[in-house]
Structure 1
């Protein structure tokens, strides 16, 4: 049985608080491009499928998720805004149905994000609103695409002009249709620690 990522959630919360309240000697410059990697963990995942009038509900359990991201942001006064793309590949996702059946599949994520934040010195808090696409590849060969809205919150701390460490919560609300013509809604939330280089 897989252990629930309780320690990861506690570490995430502690990281957010520390980065938001770290003292600043002056204002950082948040303008420019950036690229980096993130390590995340699913906090909740659920699929609701409408099959001939009956609704099947299943939940997901995943290993840590590694992703790459890049973006550009502009600072005007204390307000920072910009855009970002994040791509992730997740293997061995376990799907568990209400009737006890299980299914394993691989998943790919593409998240397009609009970000708006507030400068706290060398720390920045921000909100995310965007579009997410999820591709699920089952072992039996079934390939299903889901897409929809995403939203979240994050915090970044700029250690110097080149390096930023951050943490982000992202919720995805997507829909799709499988090969059998069954409509499904997929909700998938993640917490992630992020490290990026600024240029």
Structure 2
């Protein structure tokens, strides 16, 4: 009888211990949730072909030399309004955008020095390499190129003046395919005058500030 009672006590003790262990159970830690990163502003898509219209105001000067490096007369002011067309292609790598553009502006950049015939640049063609940085809907860029402009004094045949061009600009996407922009561009133009072979045009050219409206294709 004593052995049976002792065995019953052992069984009861083991049962109580097992029940207590099941009540406590394993401790489960709540997962740590990392704070969400703030969403960045998406960069507009600038890749592909584009084209459009421009309108600019130009101011500049003409300088004549009777021999290389020998100043004769000049520094005459010229000015005018230049409507134009442009077309180009962009490649985009992340925020970097680069490509090429061909533009043509029309109209005259002219002036009349005292005692001289009227002088004018009859429009200009620009071939540009462009590179810039895009953020949000904006593209800020610089450009470097080569310009050709017909030039003459009044009554003389036009002939091409050529030289380096460079500038800066900004474009902004106002819709999925439409872009407005502004650009400042400087052209350094020079050449020999066929109708006055003892003179050459140098240290001349004009600056243009233009507004632009374009479309991406």
TM-score band w.r.t. shorter chain: 0.7 to 0.9
Task: From 69, 79, 82, give the equivalent of 1:65.
Answer: 82
Tell me how large the CA RMSD over aligned residues is.
Answer: 1.9
Can you give the 5+ residue segments of structure 2 that lack an aligned partner in the other structure? 1-39
Which residue of structure 2 lines up, in the alignment, with residue 38 of structure 1? 54
Deviation of 1:90 after TM superposition, in Å, equals 1.3
Paired residue for 2:45, among 21, 29, 39?
A: 29
Matched, 1:198 2:216: yes
Question: Aligned-pair distance for 1:47?
Answer: 1.2
| Whole-Å separation in 2 of the counterparts to 1:100 and 1:139 | 13
Do residues 169 (structure 1) and 180 (structure 2) align?
no
Partner of 1:141: 156
Contact 1:94–1:102 (Cα < 8 Å) also in 2: no
Matched, 1:152 2:152: no
1:66–1:88 contact (8 Å) kept in structure 2? yes
Q: How does 1:46-61 map to 2 (within 5 A)?
A: 46-51=61-66, 53-61=70-78
Offset, 1:100: 4.7
User: Does the Cα contact within 8 Å between 2:80 and 2:110 map onto a contact in 1?
Assistant: no
Residues of 1 paired with 2:153 and 2:116: CA distance?
14
Query: Aligned partners of 1:55, 1:79: CA distance in 2, in Å?
Result: 46
Q: CA deviation at 1:34?
A: 0.4
Q: TM-score with structure 2 length normalisation? A: 0.74
Tell whether the 8 Å contact from 1:58 to 1:96 is kept in structure 2 after alignment.
no
Shift of 1:135: 0.7
Structure 1 residues 188, 175: closer, same or farther in 2, change over 3 A? same
Map of 1:116 onto structure 2: 131
Please identify runs of 4+ aligned residues in structure 1 that moved more than 6 A.
Answer: none
TM-score (norm 1): 0.80
Larger radius of gyration: 2
Mark the runs of 5 or more structure 1 residues left unpaired by the alignment.
1-23
State the shift of 1:101 in Å: 3.4
1:75 to 2:92 alignment: yes
Structure scoring higher RCO (CA < 8 A, sep ≥ 6) equals: 1
Please give the alpha-carbon distance, in whole angstroms, between the structure 1 residues aligned to 2:120 and 2:60: 14
Residue 105 of structure 1, CA deviation:
3.7
Aligned 8 A contact 1:145 1:177 in 2: no
